[in-house]
Structures are given as structure tokens and as C-alpha cells.
């Protein structure tokens, strides 16, 4: 079987082959031959990349637009968990104090938030953040995000313990201990960055973790709690050493990285690491740290990743995401139990209310639920089998489904800023029955992407605007409007 792959192209095979990737401006074409042996050595291939997604903060989950996008993502991936920030933000109304300082709890919105997830057969991966205003030690410790969450430690550790215990106990009473034991409780978000104002950061975070983990386990030893939920793959080794030394409960390790994070921040080196390689190199770093720790079999859950954290449309809105995702799956296989793509929807307000589709948002669905190339990429990757076969290629995944059919992903990966070159791939099959059907599906810049139509509409609108302006008759005279409440023509 022979096919041409454009720049950034990727192929997925379902009893055959599906192809996707952006086009190339280069006329030079490369040839590649991949030997596919249906009897090659194999290993289990759980779909770790589609078990969890991140999303905008907690309160957004009450919107129908959010729930629509959640259902669409569930439809194409059957994902199991969703993670979001700010379940303790004041807009959720969970915590208050009366005039004497006595705590009062209100779980009305919490119930609506989690009910909405469960009704759609998605469980919460609970990030315990941020600090309620009545409980903060510093009312001015506001993060620059649009919703201005408070990132300070609590003013009273006893009240924090009581909040965590009351919150956890309420969940167990409402949903049942057996159900909540299937959830995860993650302590805070990226405490090594400006999401935590404790000083010094690491020791004060450990104090937060210790109080939180013990309060959760006081409700039920069956509930899962972990951290340190750091950016840039930080602290995992020291976090586990701390838990061992202080005998603090821990059930999983979590961390984050983005493709454009710097080697200085992630590895303490001056390497020039491509965004194509950064994510899985960081995951492997933490994986190895866990293996060398007092808890060598501790589960690793990667609770945030993407190719870019800085809203670059040419990255996260583009067909580049297909090859990036496929290569990330190939490289991270066996290193982590779950990877949470940040995010499933552009119903998202960290920088404010979304003004336009395709602004480089993290979601796989743009504003108004428009599927980006990444949405179609996840839909195709979902069809990969649950057994992975060995193949001598760094741009292919060969998998087998339970019905015996092969599903193969092949891609042509280049960085968004590179011109790239198309390549022709020849697949040589071995060990297959003589009669085999194949199906090809393509996601690239022209197919499976809404951007060409969106750009065309923008050009047409600009042309119409220019045409209408050229047809306007110039006024006979222009006079400044003396009314200060109106603008001069």
C-alpha cells in the first residue's frame, strides 16, 4: 500500500488506512517504507491519552455551551474524567463565615457542577483550589487571570481542614463512598508558579498538602489524593521523599508540561528541545524519578499538557496538532496512566471572555462548538486498537483491535514554523490474510479543518466591505457634531 503524506500528515488505519496532515509549500518529496508485521511482538496499549481532559474553571461547567462540548468530546473519545480549577472560588459559593468567624458551607453549586458531569457519564478529577476570600491569609494575593482567584495559604489551618473534610464528607454522603472512591483529589494547581503565594513555595505547599491529604483520608481511607500538580515537571522526587518522611498519604503523582516550556525550567539545562519532544521527555523525567523513589510503583497522572501555553493559532488551532498528538502518544506509551489534554473546549475565560474563534485557545472545540483539527484527530485516534505492535518507525503506530483488524497511524511531523516537505509512505504488510480491505480518512489543512472556510468567509466579508464603501456617495459637506455625547462623523 502506498500513499503521499503532506507536511504534518498523519495516517490512521481502520481495517485499512486514514490519512491526515497540513499541506507543504516544499516541492521536494521524501520516500519512506514501513514494514508492518501482523505477528510482530506486541504489548497492551490502553488509551491513556483520552481518559481525561482539562477544561475551564468549575463554574463554567454550569453553562449549556460547556456541557454541549463535553458531550461532543465524550462522543468521540468516551473519556472518563474532567479536571478544572477553582471549585473553592467564591463564585461557586462554597465557603463563608458569619460575623463571629464561624464557617458556613453551601454546596448547592458544587452539587450542580458534579451532577452535570455524572449525568454525562464523566467523573470529576477534583483539583482542590483556590482559597476562599473569607479564609485567605492575604486578600491581595490575586492571580492575574480574568477571574482573579486568590492563591494565598489559609489564615487558619484548622478552618482549612474543616472545609476539606466537610466538602469531602458531603460528596461521600451525596454520591456514595464507592462512587467517590473512583474519583481523584489533587491538591492545588502549579504551586511552583504564581498560582501559590506561600513563601517559601515548596515547604508551604507541603504544609497545604499534608493538611489536605489527612483531612480527606479522615473521611475515608478509600479516597485517592495526590500532588504536587506542578508546572514544568517539578518537585516530584522531593514531594515523594517528603510524604515518606512525614508519613503523609499519597496515591498518585501529578505534574504538567507544555511543548514550549524551556529546558532551563524543566531540566535545568540549556538544551534546545523541540516542542515535538518536550512533553514526553518531561513525562519520562518524572517517571524515572518515581521509579527511583520510596514509592517506585506510584501511579503518574499527567494532569495538563498541550503543544503550547501561549495561545498561538498556528499551533493549537492548526492541523499541526494531529502529528503532535500521534507522536506524543507514541513516545509517552508506558510512562503514565493518564494524560489530560488541556482543554476540551474554548468555553474558557482565563484571559477574559472569548472574543473570536481561532485565537489559539487550548480547546479541541472552538467558540460556538466549531471542531478544530485536534477534535478530528482525537476522533480518529480513538479508533486505535488496544494492542500495540512493534514497528521500526518513529512516525507510525501499528495497533490491533479486539476484532483482529489493524489500525495504523502514520504521520509527517514538522514544527509549525517550518516549511516541511511532503513524503510518500509505502506500507509493506506481512502476516495478513490475502484479502484485506482498507479505508483512508484524511485530516489536514484542507480536510477536517474549519480554518479554510473561516478564512474564506473573512476574505469575502472584507471584499464586500470594500465594495460597499466604494459605492458610497461622498457627502456634500462634513460638519463636526456639536453634541459631545456622540462621535463626529
- Positions annotated as catalytic residues are 190, 304
Measured distance CA(228)–CA(205) in Å, rounded = 8
Which residue blocks in 346-483 are alpha helix, DSSP H?
Answer: 373-381, 451-471
Distance of alpha carbon 424 from alpha carbon 167, whole angstroms: 57
Cell numbers of 214, please? Answer: 489527612
The C-alpha cell of 486 is what? 456622540
Cell of 155: 489564615
| Cβ-based neighbours of 440, under 8 Å, separated by 6 or more | 3, 11, 16, 17, 18, 19
Q: How far apart are CA 67 and CA 160, in angstroms?
A: 31
Tell me the residue ranges of DSSP E strands in 29-151.
Answer: 30-37, 42-44, 52-54, 81-84, 95-97, 103-105, 123-128
The Cα–Cα gap between 435 and 188 comes to 54
The interaxial angle of helices 373-381 and 64-77, nearest 10 deg, is 40
What is the C-alpha separation between 10 and 121, in angstroms, rounded?
Answer: 31
Q: Does residue 196 contact residue 205 with C-beta atoms inside 8 Å?
A: yes
Residues 17, 438: contact at Cβ < 8 Å?
A: yes
Amino acid at each position: 500500500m502506498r500513499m503521499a503524506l503532506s507536511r504534518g500528515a498523519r495516517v490512521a488505519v481502520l481495517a485499512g488506512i486514514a490519512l491526515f496532515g497540513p499541506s507543504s509549500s516544499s516541492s521536494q518529496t521524501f520516500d519512506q517504507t514501513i514494514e508492518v508485521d501482523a505477528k510482530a511482538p506486541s504489548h497492551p496499549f490502553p488509551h491513556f491519552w483520552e481518559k481525561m481532559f482539562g477544561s475551564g474553571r468549575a463554574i463554567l461547567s454550569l453553562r449549556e455551551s460547556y456541557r454541549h462540548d463535553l458531550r461532543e468530546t465524550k462522543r468521540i473519545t468516551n473519556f472518563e474524567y474532567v479536571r478544572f480549577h477553582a471549585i473553592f472560588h467564591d463564585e461557586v459559593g462554597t465557603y463563608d463565615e458569619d460575623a463571629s468567624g464561624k464557617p458556613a458551607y453551601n454546596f448547592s453549586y458544587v452539587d450542580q457542577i458534579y451532577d452535570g458531569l455524572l449525568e454525562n457519564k464523566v467523573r470529576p478529577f477534583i483539583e482542590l483550589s483556590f482559597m476562599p476570600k473569607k479564609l485567605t491569609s492575604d486578600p491581595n494575593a490575586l492571580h492575574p487571570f480574568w477571574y482573579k482567584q486568590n492563591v494565598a495559604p489559609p489564615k487558619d489551618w484548622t478552618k482549612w481542614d474543616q472545609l476539606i473534610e466537610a466538602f469531602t464528607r458531603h460528596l461521600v454522603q451525596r454520591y456514595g463512598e464507592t462512587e467517590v472512591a473512583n474519583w481523584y483529589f489533587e491538591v492545588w494547581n502549579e504551586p511552583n508558579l504564581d498560582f501559590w503565594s506561600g513563601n517559601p513555595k515548596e515547604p508551604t505547599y507541603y504544609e497545604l498538602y499534608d493538611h489536605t491529604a489527612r483531612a480527606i483520608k479522615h473521611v475515608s481511607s478509600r479516597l485517592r489524593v495526590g500532588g504536587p500538580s506542578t508546572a514544568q515537571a517539578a518537585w516530584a522526587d522531593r514531594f515523594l521523599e517528603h510524604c515518606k518522611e512525614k508519613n503523609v498519604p499519597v496515591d498518585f503523582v501529578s505534574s504538567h508540561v507544555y511543548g514550549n516550556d524551556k529546558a532551563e525550567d524543566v531540566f535545568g539545562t540549556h538544551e534546545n528541545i523541540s516542542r515535538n519532544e518536550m512533553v514526553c521527555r518531561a513525562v519520562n523525567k518524572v517517571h524515572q524519578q518515581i521509579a527511583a523513589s520510596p514509592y517506585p510503583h506510584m501511579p503518574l497522572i499527567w494532569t495538563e499538557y498541550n503543544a503550547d501555553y501561549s495561545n498561538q493559532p498556528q499551533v493549537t488551532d492548526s492541523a499541526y496538532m494531529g502529528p503532535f498528538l500521534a507522536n506524543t502518544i507514541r513516545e509517552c506509551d508506558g510512562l503514565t496512566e493518564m494524560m489530560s489534554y488541556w482543554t476540551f473546549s474554548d468555553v474558557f475565560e482565563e484571559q477574559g471572555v472569548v472574543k473570536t474563534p481561532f485565537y489559539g485557545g487550548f480547546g479541541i472545540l472552538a467558540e460556538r462548538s466549531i471542531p478544530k483539527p485536534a477534535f478530528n484527530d482525537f476522533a480518529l485516534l480513538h479508533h486505535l486498537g488496544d494492542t500495540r505492535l512493534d514497528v521500526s518507525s518513529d512516525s507510525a503506530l501499528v495497533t490491533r483491535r479486539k476484532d483482529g483488524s489493524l489500525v495504523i497511524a502514520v504521520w509527517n511531523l514538522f514544527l509549525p514554523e517550518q516549511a516541511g516537505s511532503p513524503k510518500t509512505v509505502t506500507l509493506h504488510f506481512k502476516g495478513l490474510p490475502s484479502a484485506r480491505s482498507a479505508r483512508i480518512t484524511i485530516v489536514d489543512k484542507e480536510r477536517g479543518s474549519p480554518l479554510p472556510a473561516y478564512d474564506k468567509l473573512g476574505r469575502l466579508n472584507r471584499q464586500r466591505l470594500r465594495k460597499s464603501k466604494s459605492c458610497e456617495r461622498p457627502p456634500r459637506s462634513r460638519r463636526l457634531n456639536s453634541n459631545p455625547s456622540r462621535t463626529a462623523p
